[in-house]
Chains A and B, each alone.
Chain A
């Protein structure tokens, strides 16, 4: 029996279980499809749900379901436990789920009916499920991956859906950032830990002794494996093949020793930060080896115990029975940092440690940061390739597709790019290179401040908004650029003109606020008022949020969303790619910007009968090297007539397109692109699962 595991996209994952393909091959209807998510999305306990944020929910849940809480509840009646978890425990091995497809709502309903906790239920049902759907991080982030994917058979098929950003996710999984605030918090956490330890010593020294014994026996990892499902949650961030299968070194086995060991690390990082922020500081980039060397010489710590910092810490936290692990986030970050540096210090530097005196943007206030940046995306995904037979990477915007094997270091068996199957030209990409006054528009650094460009972009937006009905979404290259151009527009009165035809919604840095704005955007579209949403490529809105149907009749991409090329992390990565994988700087930047741009414009169309405009407003899109990097399904509609347009000619095309598209759908043509039931049955078993955009 083969398993199919999906990594769904990151955003909107709550509801994103739409049509899950059945794996009908093995057992026919005997398939069980499940999704995994965090407690916040799965909890059904009323009191716990009253907590507003994830951390609160996690803590509340742990305090009721952790083994020590259960222990205590046996003797002490006042300790509250979760009825659903108890029900689940009571059922024991008898818990089984009938085959079927369960999304989150379904799971919650079922759990409520059975009085079983859906969160733990799915954790247990992983072994029985045919199809599992969960977030990338459960697979890629080694911290979480262990508890989820450790029991999957190697014959499982892994499908990374919406995987256009997979390299970033891989890198993210192994990168740590530490700043002043974190370090202060880590110090505080250490203080709390040491008082906990001494308290425990007085009351229950046996427990500490047991832990010590375990560590002596080198059972950290084995101990983890034996732990019941509900207390897993920590595993070494260091990848399993790299973990030295050794006992924890003697000098950090005792809890007190370990705490003072960690204190030294924190202090060292603090002094490093201080020098960076100091008068003779500045941006410093070091290899892990150099960093480690300096750390060892100044703190007189050994390299070897550093590698165990993370696992030792998690063991300690478990021993101390800490319910609210998120309070120790800063400390675990530090431990993570130390472990990663120590483990990957040898050989070719695949990490860079970048210390910046000014991580934040608040002028005047210095907020120095130490960033441990992973440079090699293949590091995190390599174990997956090794372990699983079939890994499928798919997305609507994997283009150019040949760059991914290079980035992730694998040999693709099949690499295919598909056109969109459609019965009418339902998308209309337009490349606008000039304003109505024929001056080229671009967000190129040199042109960006030009008033002519700002004005042309403004009048372009106004004109488009006055000829496109319902919802329009506009993306800018970065938040700061959006801010500046908006304030310019406000000064020119362009925004006021815009409000005449559409309500203006603008993404902010605040999630809650942006959510509210989006929700009201929807309301404005529903009511027929029409609205325009101004947001940022790579922002919160650019992925996962659909502006389909009347919510988005057009997406306007102002400029090419390059990454910030002055970022030291990006510089380091580009250098790494250049020297090790022979990917040219400009190629990578183009690739990255274009996948982001197509991701943005792809928001506009989500189904066969939907239609929308994709407007690329920058003279650079006209260039061959940029344009050809768009995915095939966009390129197939991008004729010569839609290139190098000025605003007024584009408006004419827009009007024509909208008029044609608003006509009733042709019955016969629609029939051609839809599969009949027989055809679907004939396709069974499906050979390839690559989602059409």
Chain B
């Protein structure tokens, strides 16, 4: 939201040209000096003094279909004026030169008004007003595009915050238990503090609720809204299919009408399913059906409200068009083929014998079939005609959305100039490697290649099937490019972009892989190496031989594990020296230095001890003979090591066994204590670190009174837990009580730290004023 003033010029107000200025505090209108220079009197009529936003009641704009772009602002009388003149509302009407200006102005005013309102409500009452309950959702949808990422957004919206927290608590019993213990029962932590430590969880949950996940996209198709699995719905569907396969057109028409009524009742009366539209659903609908997006842009909120729009959408023929009427489509194709077959067969037969009679019959039949089919088609078309969305779709077909261009004729065929310009997607280098169909098609006479050789008649244009195919082809574009796909983009461009990016990426191994037989050479070489390697060197797990083993010991090999997750995406560690940024290089250097230091610390003492033993003062270099064990002890050593390793590997199993043998009750107890204490510890340490961060200015611990109290609260709670555990361990057997030991140790450590902190601050050099030490 821009806070600076913005002015729109060339605007007519009371037949005077001037500029409308929107600013932080309000709006005003200034006539052009040049235009109205002569008439000093009129200027006064047209000019509007600054009217603050809090006086405006609402603003309206003319619908898109209107010939003029009008903006009307309703203003409550000024407080002083109100006292004088009965409080009449006054309205100002502005004529904008262009629609886009109007749109901008409208959006700006909306946002400014919202700001004003928010600040008003904040001033008046801190708790969020209950009448706003309905608003956030719609607003979020409307302006969701420009809002910043989830975690920060959530702070602006208390309702969402509460909802998120409660859903988190509902879904996670452990968290709920902690929450009850720490916040509700004992009051150890304040609500806010508790969530502060879980802010990541909250953000994630919020993202999940609002469908705004940061990474990755589910490949679920969200736009295929389920209209609730009510019985009536299923029955309707069945009825529909029966109607269409029956083929009588009147039946179909009736069915369609019923359909509409049915649905209306369903979405208005809440007896049937309720359709939930989240941000993600809406986003996907916009992406998958560009026509819907176009309609939304133009209609909402000027002509239709949000709710009206979506109701219209759900009721529309358009919405139901692609969602299969089972059996309808395949029947149609078959019918067509059947017709052809009959005609064909007839022809043959008629050549042979009984010419006249059969032909007559057959023709009649054929005609009937044609009529039936055509009629159904036209009816279908007619039904779609008065549909808002299909109208928009027809408008869109001209532009090149993914799936609407049909270039099969212009590449293979002869017409090069007329249609080619429509599709100017550069077809060279559209793909990497083996999948470059376009290049092949264009290289030689592509006719055969493009039309296929099965001689099947191509399916009709714009059929239901092709629409569905387009839909799914849009879907992958959305899933694979979640960042780029926003409502209104051309997904084919998005998809193509990734290819180009891939090319320029220079990630050689990946691109090499994509080529025809690419990567096979490498793999083969690797395998030959594997086959040739002697048994000692062959790595069976990875199927690699000598070379790879050598490589592995060097730098060129990076093992896959979670910490270098980039390797999964083909970014291997070996190439750091060239491509890594300066920052990374520095980091690496530091790390290397640290490692070196660490290593030296470890080895120095060893070296010293070894050198002091025999070759005293001679030289610092270790004598290799001593570095390795003597042959005599080598073998026992190896055996011992093997035994040790075997034992180590057994411990895991042992632990499991031991854990299994414990009584259920005890295990639960242990788990509860563990959870509680860790939760407390986490709070303790985070608070502590926060305080120590605060302290930088004056040195010492900058704890305020309340912070201090919080910390001590936590420590008290920890002590309570500790006490409980001590109690408990007294009653338990030695082995079991031992298991509590680590938990208690951890707590002990925390206590110790806390005491140290206290003593430090007590004896500290600079104490914050008002600091009162609390004995623990």
Which A residues are closer than 8 A to B by beta carbons?
10-16, 18, 37-38, 40-41, 49, 52-55, 135, 137, 141, 165, 168-169, 172, 181-182, 185, 283, 326-327, 329-330, 333, 360-364, 445, 448-449, 451, 454, 477-492, 495-496, 499-500, 502-506, 508-524, 526-529, 531, 536-541, 544-546, 548-549, 561-564, 566-567, 569-570, 596, 606-610, 664-665, 667-668, 670-671, 674
Residues of chain A within 8 A (CB-CB) of B532 are 671
- A515 lies within 8 A of B430 (CB): yes
Say whether B407 contacts A667, CB under 8 Å: no
Q: A52 contacts which chain B residues (CB < 8 A)?
A: 424, 426-428
**Docked pose: A527 CA to B482 CA in angstroms:** 14
Shortest beta-carbon distance, A602 to chain B, in Å? 14
Q: A505-B476, A609-B527 are in contact. Are A451 and B327 (CB under 8 A)?
A: yes
Q: Is B450 a contact of A490 with CB atoms below 8 Å?
A: no
Answer yes or no: B133 CB below 8 A from chain A CBs.
no
Chain B contacts of A490 at CB under 8 A? 322-324, 468, 471
Residues B476 and A449 in contact, CB atoms below 8 Å apart: no
Asked, given contacts A490-B468, A561-B454, whether A548 binds B520 with beta carbons under 8 Å apart, the answer is yes
- Chain B: interface size category: 35 or more
B568 at the interface (CB under 8 A from A): yes
1/0 per residue, CB under 8 A from A, across B503-530: the answer is 0000000100111110110011001101
In-complex Cβ contact of A479 among B327, B438, B456 (8 A) = B456
- C-alpha spacing A484/B454, complex, angstroms: 17
B434-A15 in contact (CB<8A): yes
State the Cβ distance, A65 to closest chain B Cβ, in Å. 19
Kindly state the separation between the CA atoms of A169 and B510 in the bound complex, as whole angstroms.
35
Instruction: Fill in one digit per residue for B195-219: 1 if any A CB lies within 8 Å of its CB, else 0.
Output: 0000000000000000000000001
A491 cross-chain contacts in B, Cβ below 8 A: 323-326
- Give A67 to B570 CA distance when docked, in angstroms: 51
Residue of B454, B524, B530 near A564 (CB, 8 A) is: B454
Nearest chain-B residue to A363 (Cβ)?
A: B460
Question: Which listed residue, A182, A487, A596, A674, touches B329 by the CB 8 Å rule?
Answer: A487
| Contacts beyond the supplied A451-B326, A510-B408: 15 A-B pairs with Cβ under 8 Å | A10-B440, A12-B516, A14-B443, A52-B428, A54-B442, A491-B323, A495-B221, A496-B224, A512-B492, A519-B430, A541-B437, A546-B434, A566-B337, A566-B340, A670-B530
Residues of A within 8 A of B568 (CB): 528
Given A503-B219, A505-B473, A518-B435, A566:B341 Cβ within 8 A:
yes
Tell me the bound Cα distance from A505 to B470 in angstroms. Answer: 10
In the assembled complex, the Cα of A540 lies from the Cα of B447 at a distance in Å of: 11
- Chain A residues positioned under 8 Å from B473 (CB to CB): 505-506, 508, 513, 517
Chain A residues positioned under 8 Å from B344 (CB to CB): 566
Residues B541 and A664 in contact, CB atoms below 8 Å apart? yes
The smallest beta-carbon distance between A401 and chain B, in angstroms, is: 21
> Do residues A517 and B476 form an inter-chain contact, with CB atoms below 8 A?
yes
Q: Determine if B469 and A454 form an interchain contact, defined as CB atoms under 8 angstroms apart.
A: no
Interface segment among B69-77, B409-417, B595-603, B635-643: the answer is: B409-417
Q: How far is the CA of A181 from the CA of B327 in the complex (A)?
A: 37
Chain B residues whose CB sits within 8 angstroms of the CB of A521 once the complex forms: 435, 476
| Chain A residues in 8 Å Cβ range of B458 | 360-361, 479-480, 509
The answer to whether A510 touches B524 (Cβ under 8 A) is no
Q: Distance in Å from the Cβ of B284 to the closest Cβ of chain A?
A: 12
Find out whether the CB atom of B524 lies under 8 angstroms from the CB atom of A484: no
Note all chain A residues with C-beta closer than 8 A to B439: 14, 40-41
The secondary structure that dominates the A interface is helix
Find out whether the CB atom of B441 lies under 8 angstroms from the CB atom of A539: no
Q: Which B residues touch A448, using CB under 8 A?
A: 330, 334
Compute how far the CA of A181 lies from the CA of B419 in the bound complex, rounded to whole angstroms: 13
Q: Which residues of B contact A513 (CB under 8 A)?
A: 402-403, 405, 473, 492
Is B405's CB under 8 angstroms from A516's CB? Answer: no
- Is B472 engaged at the interface, CB distance under 8 Å to the other chain? yes
**A448 CB to nearest B CB, Å:** 7
Provided the pairs A491-B323, A526-B510 are in contact, do residues A503 and B440 lie with their beta carbons within 8 angstroms? no
Name B431's contact: one of A18, A135, A485, A515 (CB within 8 Å): A515
Closest to B532 in A: A671
Name the A residues within 8 Å of B453 (CB-CB). Answer: 165, 168, 538, 563
**Cβ-neighbour of A664 out of B331, B449, B460, B543 (below 8 A):** B543
Residues of chain B within 8 A (CB-CB) of A172 are 448
- Interchain nearest-CB distance for A310 vs B (Å): 16
Q: How far is the CA of A169 from the CA of B642 in the complex (A)?
A: 68
Q: Enumerate 21 A-B pairs (CB-CB under 8 Å) in ascending A order.
A: A18-B516, A41-B439, A52-B428, A53-B420, A165-B453, A478-B456, A484-B459, A486-B469, A491-B323, A499-B220, A505-B472, A506-B469, A514-B437, A515-B437, A526-B510, A537-B454, A538-B453, A538-B454, A545-B435, A665-B543, A667-B533
Which 4 A-B residue pairs are closest in the complex by CB-CB distance? A491-B324, A483-B465, A567-B455, A518-B435
Q: What's the minimum C-beta distance from B238 to chain A, rounded to whole angstroms?
A: 12
Which of A506, A564, A567 has most B Cβ within 10 Å?
Answer: A506
Give min CB distance, A228 to chain B, whole Å. 23
Q: How far is the CB of A692 from chain B (nearest CB, A)?
A: 14
The digit string for B640-665, where 1 denotes a CB below 8 A from any CB of A, is 00000000000000000000000000
Inter-chain contacts of A511 with B (CB < 8 A) = 407-408, 411, 427, 437-438, 441, 446, 450
Cβ of A495: which chain B residues have Cβ within 8 Å of it? Answer: 221, 468, 472
Please, which residue of chain A has its CB at the minimum distance from the CB of B463?
Answer: A483
Q: What B residues does A329 contact at CB under 8 A?
A: 414
Asked if B333 CB lies within 8 Å of chain A CBs, one says yes
CA distance A665 to B377 in the complex (A): 58
Known: A483-B469, A499-B220, A499-B221. A538 touches B452 (CB 8 A): yes
In the assembled complex, which residues on chain A have CB atoms less than 8 Å from the CB atom of B326?
451, 488, 491-492
